[in-house]
Structure 1
Amino acid sequence: MIRDQFNGLVINQQNLFSLLVSPSKYCQHGRENLLREHQEHLLYLQRLCRYCRTSGIRVWLQGEALPRDGKIQEKHPEYALIDNSNADEIFWKNFYQHHLYEALEKLPGIDGIIVNLPRHQPYKASWVSTLPYLYKTLRTLGKKMVLRDYMEDEAASWQLINALQVLPPDVRVSIKAVAHGYRPGFVNNPLLTQLNGRIKWIEFDMWGLEYGWTLLPCYLLEEIQGRLSWVESMAGEELEAITGRLNWEWISNSSLINSVNSVNLHGLAMFGREIFMTEKQAFHCWLTDMLEHKVGMAEVNLFHQLYICSYEWMRKTPYILGHVLHYYSQVPESYALAVKQLQLHVRKSDDYALSTLFPVNDPDAGREQFQQLVLEKERALFLAQDSRNRLYQIIHSVAMSEEKKELFKRVWERVPWYTEMFNRVARSVAMKMMIDNYGHQSGISLFALTKEINELRLLATRLSEWMDKEEQQQPHYLAMLFDPARLISLADSLADNE
């Protein structure tokens, strides 16, 4: 962080408020252990704040505004008895003004709180009535408040706008660079153009929730530079901060730092300071740091071309003609989920017209799209195999440590596997959609679909064998991204619907 001149650290935990507060007087079961846990959290954050202060780094906390998880009910068992919105509002008012106030009072080094809006639940208080209490608590302690664009559904932007209307102008708003999660090639978040007068933060997912969890290469420097330029032109002086996700709270030991995709974070930091630096200059700086020695232009060009290919590869592999096929980078575990993803999310760009995939009552268009899919997957496979071969040539011609060689090899060896996995998934799902929509006019037989389903099951077996063989060399969560059980589940759902 210091090297890249970041000046802030965000500690994110969805149930953060539940963890910070002490148990209520009604909590008797396990009270002593809960108090120890509460004290340990505060001590950790106090030490972190002291360390960051000496390095000139500000600390922010991020979590859900109304955590209704098991921890809150463990510490506040009285919450389980609440059965109407008025009682719920009273509970949260007391929670913010007393319990949270008490915890934050012991954390003077915290600059502010970033809060996520929860989805509304029946018989529960809405954020419209409760957020003003949270704001008053934070301002009393001299801390800032940031409201975050968090929810994934289509109503999220409207709910965020409505929530901001009940909060004072000094409440910041944190907006995702891409509306429904950072997917490479997708359009900028239009919400950035709708909140004039608000101080804005823009959030980039550098970890890759939607593009491979740091386990797969995806080069974003050119895209990031373009997005930042657009944001600055739209927000102007209202843009206060740029944030980047480094990990995901649900997967431990999976940091972006020192991964092959750390180039994106490095570039984000450099562009934040020098927007007119070229993308290739930023790449050169990162590669020098990564290889720990001066790198000549010939070597830079070799690596740069390898990384450029990864961007095209990622935009083609877990998609069907710009329509999202993956579910948080994983294979959809059912045919229904695959169809839902394909219908809900589509990339709007020059490469793909915004159109329905396999439109009902138009078998000619459907057959044409299927042929385009075949070509797209052939291209993805070529890019995967070619990039792996390029990588092997590079590591034999460019000086680097054995540790770095192994890192690059492990990452690019995953690329063909991921490609084959999604090529099989795309073909089987598309064939099923064609048969469902067009019947015998699809040109696809049930026999061909059954054969493709069997190929999915065989691939699941091969993936299991590969991961068993590589277990000691690969991160533990590789088995989640390439989960063979999801392939089997998808195959079963396709077979059930034949």
Structure 2
Amino acid sequence: MPDFQPDNWHDSLHQMWQQLRQQGKKLVLRDFIDTGWPRRQLPLILSKLPNDVRASFKPTELDFHPGFANHPHIDMVPNNKKWLEYDLWGTGYGWSFLPCYLSDEIQQRINWAMSLEGEGIEAITTRVCWQWMPSRTTFDSINLINLIGLSLFHSGEENLNTQLETDWLKMSGVHFQSSIDKQLFFNSIRSSHSWFMSTPNILGRRLHYQSQIPQSLAHARQLMHMDTRSARWQLSFEPFLPADDKATGQKQRELVSLEKENASFIAHSELHRLIAMKPTVFDPHGYFEQALDAWKIANIYSEMFTAVSLSTTEAIWKEQYESTNGSTSNQQLKSQNELLILADKLDHFCQSRNAPTELTLPLLLSAERLADFAYSLTISP
């Protein structure tokens, strides 16, 4: 764990605050937390600094994870004006490759933050790219619709959903044959929120690291216990496959299967809905094709996470309820083989896209990472 010496930080930051104040500027401290730093680091430091220092928070702890609980520290600095930082690029939800409609969720989060007592929300900032992957931005994604929605909410638009559709159509130039097709298209976009919530998470627990599958079974266990403050708190705060309650474990095992079946069904249905619609859509700038491509990637992403989720569940089930003396079961070998076959499928999918400059998608759909996870299933814990 890094050394945390607040006195040194306070002195340096106070000097910085004084210099900025002399120039008529404001000091903004941005919340950044990883697993090595104290989680209340920012509120503690702000408590020792003048009240006109701004506090910049992400909407959830440990980066932005759609559907997870609001960042609790937003309510811990009542004397400081706050900035809210929204990652619209998608570090934690698909790197702008996957569809993830967030306008409704962001609106609810901002309304909650504005309802808190004390100093209010002064500014909202957004991330539309990531320095580690500069070749792709939010503007290359169907998720640009979230940025449009945020700007409309900020402007005080009352009929936000209707205006959001109007503005997106005007920007994209897309024209649908009928109003029914138009509504089906936007329903498809909105359904992506529910789809993503059920795909790389497992019963309200996070099973991904920055949108990627876990590197190993041990990594999967670590991720599942890293942050349980999920919107699905009734599930995530309940022990997963508790050793002393096999009946609850069986119920959870079935729920995992249902969760993944539902996610796969959404991805499959929306993809084929857009494929059927495509011949009648006027798409001069490729925005409809962008949405269609996002659902193509979402389908194989669903397949990948379904396999990882079920394999993880079965491995933990075996440890909790079956006495095998550390031996490898036939089911584990079968799961391993299926994952290795799927790894080949991922590799083929990425290579078949004929986009030599598309370097980031093979990292999101990493065949090598999936193979490593598969081999970890037969390693004794």
- Same-fold call, TM > 0.5? yes
Q: Which of 158, 161, 165 in structure 2 is aligned with 1:283?
A: 165
Q: How does 1:461-476 map to 2 (within 5 A)?
A: 461-472=344-355, 475-476=358-359
How far apart, CA to CA, are the structure 1 residues paired with 2:225 and 2:72? Answer: 20
Q: Which of 321, 334, 337 in structure 2 is aligned with 1:454?
A: 337
Match of 1:268 in 2: 150
Q: How does 1:231-242 map to 2 (within 5 A)?
A: 231-234=113-116, 238-242=120-124
Q: Which of 122, 128, 140 in structure 2 is aligned with 1:246?
A: 128
How far apart, CA to CA, are the structure 2 residues paired with 1:353 and 1:124? Answer: 33
Match of 1:139 in 2: 21
User: How many Å apart are 1:420 and its aligned residue?
Assistant: 0.5
| Alignment-mate amino acid for residue 389 of structure 1 | H
| Alignment-mate amino acid for residue 265 of structure 2 | F
8 Å Cα contact 1:331-1:486 kept in structure 2: yes
The yes-or-no answer on 1:220 pairing with 2:102 is yes
The yes-or-no answer on 1:482 pairing with 2:365 is yes
Q: Percent identity?
A: 32
Per chain length, whose mean CA-contact separation is higher, i.e. which structure has more relative contact order (CA < 8 Å, sep 6+)? 2
| Alignment-mate amino acid for residue 466 of structure 1 | F
How far apart, CA to CA, are the structure 2 residues paired with 1:260 and 1:377? Answer: 23
Against the structure 1 CA distance between its residues 447 and 126, is the aligned structure 2 distance closer, same or farther, given a 3 Å change threshold? farther
Q: Which of 174, 180, 194 in structure 1 is aligned with 2:62?
A: 180
How far apart, CA to CA, are the structure 2 residues paired with 1:182 and 1:238? Answer: 21
Match of 1:415 in 2: 298
How far apart, CA to CA, are the structure 2 residues paired with 1:164 and 1:236? Answer: 14
Against the structure 1 CA distance between its residues 123 and 263, is the aligned structure 2 distance closer, same or farther, given a 3 Å change threshold? closer
| Alignment-mate amino acid for residue 277 of structure 1 | N
Q: Which of 364, 386, 397 in structure 1 is aligned with 2:269?
A: 386
User: How many Å apart are 1:221 and its aligned residue?
Assistant: 1.4
User: How many Å apart are 1:469 and its aligned residue?
Assistant: 1.6
Q: Which of 145, 167, 174 in structure 1 is aligned with 2:49?
A: 167
Against the structure 1 CA distance between its residues 136 and 282, is the aligned structure 2 distance closer, same or farther, given a 3 Å change threshold? same
Against the structure 1 CA distance between its residues 335 and 299, is the aligned structure 2 distance closer, same or farther, given a 3 Å change threshold? same
Supply the RMSD in Å over aligned alpha carbons.
Answer: 2.6
Against the structure 1 CA distance between its residues 343 and 447, is the aligned structure 2 distance closer, same or farther, given a 3 Å change threshold? same
How far apart, CA to CA, are the structure 1 residues paired with 2:263 and 2:174? Answer: 32
User: How many Å apart are 1:370 and its aligned residue?
Assistant: 0.7
How far apart, CA to CA, are the structure 1 residues paired with 2:118 and 2:239? Answer: 36
Q: Could you list the per-position Cα deviations for residues 110-138 of structure 1 after superposition, in whole angstroms to 9, with x for gaps in the alignment?
A: xxxxxxxxx84379984233222322332
Match of 2:379 in 1: 496
8 Å Cα contact 1:287-1:295 kept in structure 2: no
Against the structure 1 CA distance between its residues 225 and 283, is the aligned structure 2 distance closer, same or farther, given a 3 Å change threshold? farther
Q: Which of 322, 338, 350 in structure 2 is aligned with 1:439?
A: 322
User: How many Å apart are 1:153 and its aligned residue?
Assistant: 3.5
| Secondary structure in 1 matching 2:319 | helix
8 Å Cα contact 1:216-1:414 kept in structure 2: yes
Which one has a bigger Cα radius of gyration?
A: 1
Greater shift in the superposed pair: 464-473 or 192-201: 464-473
| Secondary structure in 2 matching 1:184 | coil
| Alignment-mate amino acid for residue 300 of structure 1 | K
Match of 1:323 in 2: 205
Greater shift in the superposed pair: 247-256 or 280-289: 280-289
Against the structure 1 CA distance between its residues 285 and 127, is the aligned structure 2 distance closer, same or farther, given a 3 Å change threshold? same
8 Å Cα contact 2:129-2:138 kept in structure 1: yes
Against the structure 1 CA distance between its residues 187 and 124, is the aligned structure 2 distance closer, same or farther, given a 3 Å change threshold? closer
The yes-or-no answer on 1:332 pairing with 2:214 is yes
| Secondary structure in 1 matching 2:239 | coil
8 Å Cα contact 1:172-1:200 kept in structure 2: yes
| Alignment-mate amino acid for residue 239 of structure 1 | I
Q: Could you list the per-position Cα deviations for residues 177-220 of structure 1 after superposition, in whole angstroms to 9, with x for gaps in the alignment?
A: 12222211112222222211211111111111111010000111
User: Structure 2: any 5+ residue segments left out of the alignment?
Assistant: none
Q: How does 1:367-378 map to 2 (within 5 A)?
A: 367-378=250-261
How far apart, CA to CA, are the structure 2 residues paired with 1:145 and 1:473? Answer: 43
| Alignment-mate amino acid for residue 240 of structure 1 | E
How far apart, CA to CA, are the structure 2 residues paired with 1:239 and 1:405? Answer: 35
Size of the aligned set, in residue pairs, is 378
| Alignment-mate amino acid for residue 242 of structure 2 | P
Question: What TM-score results when the alignment is normalised by the length of structure 1?
Answer: 0.71
